[in-house]
Structure 1
Amino acid sequence: MSVTAYQNKEAMQARLREVIARFAKINENFLTPVPGLSIYHRCEPTAPLPCTYGPGLAITVQGHKQVMLGDDVIDYGPGQSLVTTVDLPVVSHVTRASIQEPYTGIGLDLDVGLVTQVAAEIEMAEPLRETSRAISVAELEPALLDAVIRLVSLIDEPRLMPQLSVLIQREIILRLLTGPHGLYLWQLVSAGSPGKQIARSVTWLKLNFRKNFPVDELARSAHMSPSTFRQHFRTVTGMSPLQYQKKLRLQEARQLMLNENHEAGTVALLVGYESQSQFNREYARIFGEPPLRDIKRLRQEVQPGRKMPGAAG
């Protein structure tokens, strides 16, 4: 990158920080009026939090964040973008933030239908050769950064927002498909690709995680042998199908106990466990504490009536 291009990018990042600062709410996740767009603000580092990232684009405007997917540890900060292409149970936390320089970030949900539609209108640069992980980090290109600034600025233009937000989001998707994140998005929408088949299986699991299922049947529905299915599933999500199901069950159980005051025994049955002792063991393994102690701590940290944060900003 030339000195001039670097200076232009720095100026654009400063512009995005200025725009975000007008709308960011202290230590909160803020769902903006722009469809699918959220703003995140933290004045201090946060504890690692298990949550689910759906298909989306995340940008750190200021500060640093870390995301853990299986054994992978991903750090990203200002000037970088993160894209996820399927629902991923991850552990994320803000690693650098202060009152003087708070962490600020934005998250944009990606409509898979719109991604498919935009992808159908352009030609893929080269055919897919292998399945890739459903999460990627890349340097934020100036053209994409410019589109993001224009999208966030629509908060100030409510009359034009419904029409322009769709156009700008199409541009953002187009730039993602043709930029460094393109390979990861293409595998989501390319007909017949292993990545798309796994994405369908992930969608099924998200809707049916309470059920017990033979992995071989899930493999057959994806038109793969069980061993091939497991290999592709682990490549895309960073974990096995059963590990994926377990994390979805435990995260749902945690939300039900925190937000709806369910007892641990009741929740264990609701999310698909037949043994409460097994539920307690696996819960403590994932969240670090038994259910009762973990929820008590969370209630002291999370404001009443506010759900745990779970988005990707």
Structure 2
Amino acid sequence: MAEVNLETLTERALDLWQINGRDTPLPGVFLAVSKEPTGPLHGVYQPSLCVVLQGAKVSRVGHRTYRYDAGKCLIASLDVPVRAEIVAASREHPYIAMIVSIDPAVVTELLIDHPPTSSEAETTPEALAVSTLSSDLIDPLERLLGLAKRPRDIPVVAPMIQREIIWQLLNGSHAGSLRQVGLTDSRLARIGKSIAWVRENFTEVLSVPYLAALAGMSQATFHRQFKAATAMTPMQFQKSLRLQEARRMLLSEGVDVAQVGFTIGYESPSQFSREYRRMFGASPGRDGVQLRRALTEETHS
């Protein structure tokens, strides 16, 4: 595949970031810029396309590692907790990326109007996938960013361009993952139902039989398919969500560490502290102090 020209897209992304920062005036479109490599960044990826225009990033889900640099893109087809870090960035050549949300409803509409010409094998694709950016995506991505200078056109034109982008993805190398998202009875879509429940109820006691029934699978099949998609067991998935929420809560000044543990579903403070340290490399109290200090320094820099 010929190397794509990212110059115009990169210039538009950087110009827009300098004006708006991460949140653009375009619904579902975000920018990421960093002038230095970062330590681990914890978060939850939702269905989206992330295009790296400059620099490089590594994302980890369970035991799987995905590296994507300039000219590569990451497609997320499920909501999954991720540990990521920017590994190539400098003041002269900052990391620059563009993220476009993927609406599963649009995927479904396109599949209804234009069903696949051949049936795909009934497998469970991974929640994340990396590929080389297709040249067919460059033009709609450029046009999408260009709308920022024509705000009156955004509500009418942006949804059409985003639909075009999803259409191109549905005809690309990772079409299988997106098709699974759009097909309501596919294995990935059914796993997605159980993931949605866990995300909304992560403080509750986890019941694998209930989640398996929600996905319409036997417990053994559900456990196997869940791990195939997310590289985690349901319990590991829930634990990651709980600990990420705990870290968010610890940004608040004067928060009681033990109470945070109870709030996110831990009955044992020692277990909460132990698992938090294992995930983030420091105790909840120490990490909270470091997070608040870093946020203060960033605000005043």
Q: TM-score range by the shorter chain?
A: over 0.9
Please give the residue correspondences for 1:55-204 in structure 2 after superposition, counting only pairs within 5 Å. 55-129=47-121, 130-204=123-197
CA distance in 2, matches of 1:293, 1:260: 12
1:48 aligns with 2:40: yes
Aligned residue in 2 for 1:217 = 210
Shift of 1:304: 7.8
CA distance in 2, matches of 1:53, 1:151: 21
The unaligned stretches of length 5 or more in structure 2 are none
Q: Conserved in 2, the CA contact under 8 Å of 1:259 and 1:305?
A: no
The unaligned stretches of length 5 or more in structure 1 are 307-313
1:200-226 Cα offsets, whole Å, 9 max, x none, are 111111101110032112112212111
SS of 2:151's equivalent in the other structure is coil
| TM-score, normalised via structure 1 length | 0.91
Q: 1:260 to 1:202 in 2, by over 3 A?
A: farther
Aligned residue in 2 for 1:269 = 262
SS of 1:159's equivalent in the other structure is helix
Q: Conserved in 2, the CA contact under 8 Å of 1:53 and 1:87?
A: yes
Aligned residue in 1 for 2:292 = 299
Match for 1:252: what amino acid?
E
Shift of 1:139: 0.8
CA distance in 2, matches of 1:294, 1:87: 25
Residues 274-283 or 254-263, more deviating: 254-263
Aligned partner of 1:281 among 252, 274, 278: 274
SS of 2:51's equivalent in the other structure is strand
> What value does the CA root-mean-square deviation take over the aligned residues?
1.8
CA distance in 2, matches of 1:208, 1:260: 26
CA distance in 1, matches of 2:61, 2:170: 23
- Which of the pair has the greater relative contact order for Cα pairs under 8 Å at 6+ separation? 1
CA distance in 1, matches of 2:252, 2:143: 35
Question: Number of matched residues?
Answer: 298
| TM-score, normalised via structure 2 length | 0.94
Shift of 1:273: 1.1
1:156-212 Cα offsets, whole Å, 9 max, x none, are 111111111010011011111111121111111223221111011111111011100
Shift of 1:76: 0.4
Q: Conserved in 2, the CA contact under 8 Å of 1:25 and 1:41?
A: no
Shift of 1:143: 1.2
Q: Conserved in 1, the CA contact under 8 Å of 2:193 and 2:214?
A: no
Q: Conserved in 2, the CA contact under 8 Å of 1:284 and 1:291?
A: yes
Q: Conserved in 2, the CA contact under 8 Å of 1:80 and 1:140?
A: yes
Q: Conserved in 2, the CA contact under 8 Å of 1:65 and 1:93?
A: yes
Residues 275-284 or 256-265, more deviating: 256-265
Match for 2:276: what amino acid?
Y
Shift of 1:297: 1.3
1:130-164 Cα offsets, whole Å, 9 max, x none, are 11101111111111121111111111111111111
CA distance in 2, matches of 1:302, 1:153: 32
Q: 1:218 to 1:48 in 2, by over 3 A?
A: same
